[in-house]
Amino acid sequence: MALDLAIILPTLNESGNLAPLIDRIGAALDPVIGQTGWEVLIVDDNSRDGTADEARALARADTRVRVIQRIGRRGLSSAAIEGFCATAARYVAVMDADHQHDPALLPKMLASLKAGEANICVASRFAEGASTKDWADPERERLSGMANAIARRITGVDLSDPMSGYFMLPTEKARALVPRLSGIGFKILLDLLATSPKTLGAPMQVKEFPLNFAPRREGESKLDRAIALDFLAGLYEKTLGRVIPTRFALFGTVGALGVIVHMAVLSALLLGLGEGFVFAQAIAVFAAMSFNFWLNNWLTYRDKRLKGWGKVLRGWAGFCATCAVGAFANVAVATVLESQGIYWALSALAGIMIGAVWNYALSSRFVWGRF
């Protein structure tokens, strides 16, 4: 039987969930498309718990299981994109490996696509007949509701759950959209829906399936409050497009918050304590630089986030070192302008702008990137 469906499972520390989930997928699909009609692509972000090794052990026993272990790359969206490009199946589904997504919906979604009822099928937590009673996380549920309202505005698609992580579409359409996807963050469906009108010529026709959202089987959720950044990333990507790289725009947003820290420290030292401008500006630069490192590590580069005190301290030192030239230029330009009679606040802002591009270029490569 031809390979009909590939199920992409982006994983991070999910070793104990894989075997029972593949059994559940087989139980749902084998009676419908046969034992050779589907495959599972486990795209693992170099998990510490041995998820990739567990996936390889499963693959040795079952040739329908394949593994992509990623080194130095993280994030659900980019994992899904790599899965789109790695399968020969006619249709592709993305779902979580934590058992919150019910594999029993897979045959229904596949049948709907084959019948031409939709271009993409989405399992919805909020459609009529769905349930989130087992979610047991009121705050996350409330935030998801707010997130969905924002997402509907970004995509222009009237969906009850545009932030769902469980969906299926023809692989050919997915690969057609790949060149325009941002690949940043967790919300790949949001990216697909917002990208489709320009790439495919029209919004994707969507059909929703009510999902009984189950509790996580084991392990901890990979998401945190930084998920709000996905909306910002999506907004940047779809409004600024290819003019300004999305991550640079996010880096700039963090930098704008750093400006507030910079000006607050500068004002306190210069106006409050009566320190000289050169000293006050230098201290303000250092304070803003440290703040920017912390926030960029938590938000902008959360798919490459440095964890553990050792890595964080080395990353902070590396960030300060790579930004040293930018900081020097910042202080030098601001000092020259201030000495020429330019108002101190304008002088400081000019210095900040000079250092911004340098800071982004080197920190992206040498702090959160690879040599």
Average pLDDT (29-57) is 94
User: Residue 74, Cβ neighbours under 10 Å: how many?
Assistant: 18
Same structural domain, 337 and 223: no
Question: What b/e sequence results for 245-267 when a residue is b if at least 16 CB atoms lie within 10 Å of its CB, and e otherwise?
Answer: ebbbbbbbbbbeebbebbbebbe
197 and 261 share one domain: no
Q: Residue 142: its pLDDT value, please? A: 59
pLDDT at 205 over 60: yes
Q: Find, among 88, 126, 92, 85, the residue nearest to 109 by Cα.
A: 92
**Confidence band, pLDDT 50/70/90 cuts, at residue 115:** very high
pLDDT of residue 44: 95
Quick check: 210 pLDDT over 80? yes
Q: What is the mean pLDDT of the chain?
A: 82
Whether residues 9 and 54 fall in one domain: yes
- Total structural domains within the chain: 2
Q: What does the alpha-carbon distance between residue 320 and residue 340 come to, in Å, rounded to a whole number? A: 29
Nearest to 121 by CA among 88, 85, 95, 99: 95
Burial of 54 (0-12, 13-18, 19+ CB in 10 A): buried
Q: What percent of the chain has pLDDT over 90?
A: 33
Identify the domain boundary among 170, 198, 228. Answer: 228
Domain of 123, CATH number, reads 3.90.550.10
Query: Residue 199: inside a domain, yes or no?
Result: yes
Do 251 and 171 lie in a common domain?
no
Check pLDDT > 80 for residue 69: yes
Same domain (yes/no): 157, 261: no
Give yes or no for residue 11 having a pLDDT over 90. yes
Q: What are the C-alpha distances in Å from 91 to residues 30, 39, 99, 131, 140?
A: 16, 11, 21, 26, 30
- What residues make up the domain containing 31? 5-228
Going by the DSSP 8-state scheme, the letter that residue 131 receives in this structure is B
Looking at this protein, which amino acid is placed at residue 222? K
DSSP 119: S
Q: Which one is predicted more confidently, 68 or 367?
A: 68
Angle at 10 between CA 115 and CA 370, to 5 degrees: 135
- Among 49-58, 160-169, 290-299, 344-353, the minimum mean pLDDT is found in 344-353
Q: 362 and 224 in one domain?
A: no
Does residue 218 fall inside a structural domain?
yes
Would the pLDDT of 144 be above 60? no
| Structural domain contains residue 237 | no
Closest CA to 250 of 298, 208, 202, 206: 298
The residue among 163, 196, 228 that closes a domain is 228
* Residues 114 and 12 both lie in one domain: yes
- pLDDT (0 to 100) of residue 371: 37
Task: Tell whether 150 is covered by a domain.
Answer: yes
Pairing of strands 167-170, 91-94: antiparallel
Task: Say whether both 71 and 122 belong to one domain.
Answer: yes
Domain match, 171 and 101 both? yes
Number of H helices, E strands in the chain: 13, 7
> Predicted confidence band at 127 (pLDDT cuts at 50, 70, 90)?
confident
User: 213: which 2 tokens?
Assistant: 């959202």
Neighbours of 365 (CB within 10 A): 12
Taking 50 as the threshold, does the pLDDT of residue 71 lie above it? yes
- Give, for 274, the enclosing helix (H) or strand (E): none
Q: Is residue 141 part of a domain?
A: yes
Q: How far apart are CA 143 and CA 155, in angstroms?
A: 18
Is 122 contained in some domain? yes
The answer to whether position 45 is within a domain reads yes
What pLDDT was estimated at residue 125? 86
d(CA 26, CA 44): 20
Residue 171 has pLDDT above 50, yes or no: yes
Q: How confident is the model at residue 62 (pLDDT cuts 50, 70, 90)?
A: very high
- What are 220-261's pLDDT values in tens digits? 555 544 555 555 565 566 666 556 666 777 787 888 888 899
Instruction: Point out the domain boundary residue: 195, 228, 261.
Output: 228
The CA distance from 46 to 55, in Å, is 12
256/166 same-domain check: no
Query: Same domain for 196 and 291?
Result: no
**Distance separating the N- and C-terminal Cα atoms of the chain:** 45
Does 68 lie in the same domain as 104? yes
Amino acid 58: pLDDT = 97
Q: What residues does 93 pair with on adjacent strands? A: 7, 168
